[in-house]
Structure 1
Amino acid sequence: MTDRRLAVAAWESLFRAQHEIFAQISSDFDEGTLNQAEYDVLLTVTRSPQMTARLRDVTANMLISQPSVSRLVEKMVARGLLSKCADPDDGRGALVRATPEGASRFRALAITHARGIAEKMMPLDDAELAELKRLTEKLRGPSVE
């Protein structure tokens, strides 16, 4: 049986570490190129084949509601970061694709952001990072790839 106090202490430590590191690297998004939510959308889209993803897949990777994702995507389309069209395989769905401008902005910010993340994770060696990844995936459940 899991020790409840230890479980709560571990959760609080994990939460605080994530919160503190995120606060330190959030300055990556202060330049006005992309905000955190736009970066997250483009992360999903640019990792997809032909930099195109189903809107429902983008929503599944976000920590905001489906209507909020839809509004965000519409703003990104208006800013020229994404294009959007009907999903030919799902009449009710939509596909979003990174425009050259969106992909370029994402790549430029991703380099800086990845560098900041790596710096904050430096106290851990590669074996510890692999173990942290394994443990957090285990906490997230069997649906994690």
Structure 2
Amino acid sequence: MTDRKLALAAWESLFRAQHEVFHDMLADFDGTDISQAEYDVMLTVTRSPDMTARLRDITANMLISQPSVSRLVDRMVTNGLVTKCADPDDGRGSLITATDAGARAFRAVATVHGRSIAERMSALDDDELRTLRALSDKLRRS
């Protein structure tokens, strides 16, 4: 059986580390054409075949509710970052596609943000990074 105090201490440490790192990295989005939330949408969309993802797949990767994701995507359509159309395979679903402008804005931020992530994570060596990834994956699966 897991030591309850140790589990709570580990959770608090993980939570605080995530919060502090996340807060520090918000600066990566200052003065850019996309927000951190829009970046999260674009991350899923640009990694999908033909830079097109189902709205439900975007929602599954976000830490906000489905209605919030829908409103965010609608704002991104208005701002010319993505297009939205009906999913021919799912009458209730939508397909979200990155526009050329959206993909460019994402790549510009991704370059800076990727460097920032690598710099922050350089506090860990490669073995520690592999262990962190394995442990994080294990927590997500449980």
Give your verdict on TM over 0.5. yes
The AA in structure 1 aligned to 2:115 is R
Percent same amino acid at aligned positions? 68
Deviation at 1:23, TM superposition (A): 1.2
In structure 2, the partner of 1:122 is: 122
In the aligned structure 2, how far is the partner of 1:109 from the partner of 1:59?
A: 21
In structure 2, the partner of 1:59 is: 59
In the aligned structure 2, how far is the partner of 1:38 from the partner of 1:16?
A: 24
* Matched residue SS, 2:31: coil
The AA in structure 1 aligned to 2:41 is V
Q: TM-score, normalised by structure 1?
A: 0.96
In the aligned structure 2, how far is the partner of 1:125 from the partner of 1:83?
A: 40
In the aligned structure 2, how far is the partner of 1:84 from the partner of 1:33?
A: 19
* Matched residue SS, 1:34: coil
Unaligned residue ranges in structure 1 (runs of 5+): none
> Does residue 18 in structure 1 map to residue 18 in structure 2?
yes
Structure 1: 4+ residue segments shifted above 3 A: none
In the aligned structure 1, how far is the partner of 2:80 from the partner of 2:41?
A: 14
RMSD value, Cα: 0.8
Aligned pairs for 1:63-78 within 5 A: 63-78=63-78
In the aligned structure 2, how far is the partner of 1:48 from the partner of 1:21?
A: 27
CA deviation profile, 1:7-65 (whole Å, cap 9, x unmatched):
00000011111111111111011114111110000000000000000000001111111
Unaligned residue ranges in structure 2 (runs of 5+): none
